[in-house]
Structure 1
């Protein structure tokens, strides 16, 4: 699909948005809007076979995520959003690298509830911030299995008051390997299935 190729081309070289200048951001938003007009899945929340799985972030305008790259002596690695439809769970995982042996991760676990054909209400439940070595982190899938089994980690592992920490996300485009979302803070997210 030409629109999809245009979006991928516009994103190339922006390091998930970290390096995007104003002109690139405008081109990316235009490519996103164009692709959203041709969403092959008009009711994305009913397409659970597409939604479920592990997604890697390839572009965002979210300042909260992009600011993770400003941690002293650290750089932002891969960012994943892993969706488990059967438990209405979503796991956001940001890998951090920098000084040897101090590679870390920032993760938030949440529950989601569909409120329309394309919008989910998200209630954050747990935050985990720690060193990969102490957590024994190897991959998003393994990490999520450990979270779901109730494991407590050697990390800053805290419960989040979901009454105060919640938001929504519209899924505006989804196919077999690409998903676009728009969040309640005006941010856009483009993810590819891993």
Structure 2
């Protein structure tokens, strides 16, 4: 990533990856940066170069939001906090594993994670079709906290549909899904699975 892009990249670094909303001025700045990067995509046919897409990625920003009653129902206001979001892409198997980390206050700072597995197949030079396969929450105490609202939790993070890969280089990937959401991820050296 060149210095100019690195400078702009700091615009994206926002609290909780945008999940709990972003002020409209900041959201506009991020959208402007996304469009700038997309116009300079060094990999215009990403599905023909899937080796650039494979590996572990960490979510930096998304337009998916958990606001109002959804946030309250999931306990994300008071005692459950979101940790890092990782995506592991296995190109050879056509699999993507999303790992969402949670911390629970009051339960000896219990850490847990939601893992969502999906398969993908190439649909065009820049698009993949994604099919949800399975999900798990560990440990059981965290599943017990989410059990009543598990369908709501999955509906927020469900990867079913398609994803247009609009930018990818060695360090960053941007995608847009069929619901109009934008995702910005940075390559991670961590191997969360």
What TM-score results when the alignment is normalised by the length of structure 1? 0.77
The answer to whether structure 1 residue 91 and structure 2 residue 93 are counterparts is no
Give ranges in structure 1 of 5+ residues lacking alignment: 135-155
1:171 matched to which residue of 2? Answer: 165
Give ranges in structure 2 of 5+ residues lacking alignment: 148-153, 189-193
2:111 matched to which residue of 1? Answer: 103
Of structures 1 and 2, the one with the larger relative CO (CA 8 A, separation 6+) is: 2
1:9 matched to which residue of 2? Answer: 10
CA distance in 1, matches of 2:140, 2:177: 28
Moved over 4 A (4+): 64-69
Count of matched residue positions in the alignment of Structure 1 and Structure 2: 171
User: 2:177 pairs with 179, 183, 190, which one?
Assistant: 183
- Offset of residue 20 of structure 1: 2.2
Within 5 A, what are the aligned runs for 1:101-180? 101-131=109-139, 166-180=160-174
Is the contact between residue 3 and residue 31 of structure 1 (CA under 8 Å) also seen in structure 2? no
Is the contact between residue 75 and residue 98 of structure 1 (CA under 8 Å) also seen in structure 2? yes
What TM-score results when the alignment is normalised by the length of structure 2? 0.77
- Offset of residue 87 of structure 1: 0.2
